[in-house]
Amino acid sequence: MLLDAGEGVQLGLRLQRIPFQKIERIFISHMHGDHVLGLPGLIGSMNLLGRERPLIIHGPSMLEPYVKTALKFTETHLKFELNFVAANPNGMHVSMQEKGARISSFPVKHRIEAYGYQFYFEAPELNVKKAQIEALELQRSEIIQLKKGMDVKRLDGTLIKCAQACHSKAAPLCYVYSGDTRPCDAVRTASLNADLLYHEATFLDDKRRKAKETGHSTAKQAAEIAADAHVKKLIIGHFSSRYRNEELLADEARSVFNHVVLANEGMKFQL
């Protein structure tokens, strides 16, 4: 899954050694160039590289005519299917639900129609208790069955209950992506108790008025949202190029909320 596709997206993916064809879905927050200008080029490259699998693109309703027009005028004839899923401007909307994952879009407050995305991932399998494996001398096939949530019935009639043999299922993981936005309730609500919130923090708080005018947030405001929503960790990004020392933004955010990380090119996070 790829979130937003600015001009440098292909280079960024190459530098991180992420194969283009592995991307199944792209989520676009809004139609400003730094979030969407790289999309037609990326689709064109996927085509040149021989993609056959469909690609699903989520975003504002304008995204479909934008991509189709760009492909038409560049005479890019796709050999794979493009499917568009338009976000709902009226509120939170489930845009994908499958295989233990649920992804929802929600409108945020920017200068133009803009969306954030909430990702929920169920813990894939149950973990069998080590002590039970030893005590019951569990076979591999039995462990597989228990991990899937099924009870095991042995030939001698013994019943091994999944609930007893396994640790209770880990809570689902939740990641929220704010896109570009002023501080807003929609992000606060979507990220309630989330494991990770990415929130834009374009300015320092002395530029609060400019942030409001341009539909952005300050580092302090992003941290306030994170604190209100009790998220476990906050990543801030989308910094104005005026800040040579981005640590200032992190310091400001940390004055409100402890668990802040500055987004940097190529950073990896494990949930």
Active site residues: 34
Residues 14-33 that bind Zn ion (CB under 5 A): 32
Cβ 96 vs Cβ 102: under 8 Å: yes
Cα distance between residue 49 and residue 149, in whole Å:
40
At closest approach, how far in Å is the CB of 32 from Zn ion? 3
At closest approach, how far in Å is the CB of 180 from Zn ion? 4
Specify the residue, 29 or 45, whose C-beta has the smaller distance to Zn ion: 29
At closest approach, how far in Å is the CB of 110 from Zn ion? 6
Window 32-51: contact mask with Zn ion (x via CB under 5 A): x-------------------
At closest approach, how far in Å is the CB of 112 from Zn ion? 7
At closest approach, how far in Å is the CB of 209 from Zn ion? 18
Specify the residue, 145 or 181, whose C-beta has the smaller distance to Zn ion: 181
Beta bridge partners of 2: 26
224 near Zn ion, judged by CB under 5 A? no
Specify the residue, 180 or 205, whose C-beta has the smaller distance to Zn ion: 180
Bridge pairing between strands 25-27 and 113-121: unpaired
Specify the residue, 40 or 60, whose C-beta has the smaller distance to Zn ion: 60
Among 180, 195, 200, 205, binds Zn ion (CB under 5 A): 180
Cβ 72 vs Cβ 45: under 8 Å: no
Size of the site for Zn ion (CB under 5 A): 2
Terminal alpha carbon distance of the chain: 15
Specify the residue, 34 or 228, whose C-beta has the smaller distance to Zn ion: 34
Instruction: Return residues touching Zn ion (CB under 5 A).
Output: 32, 180
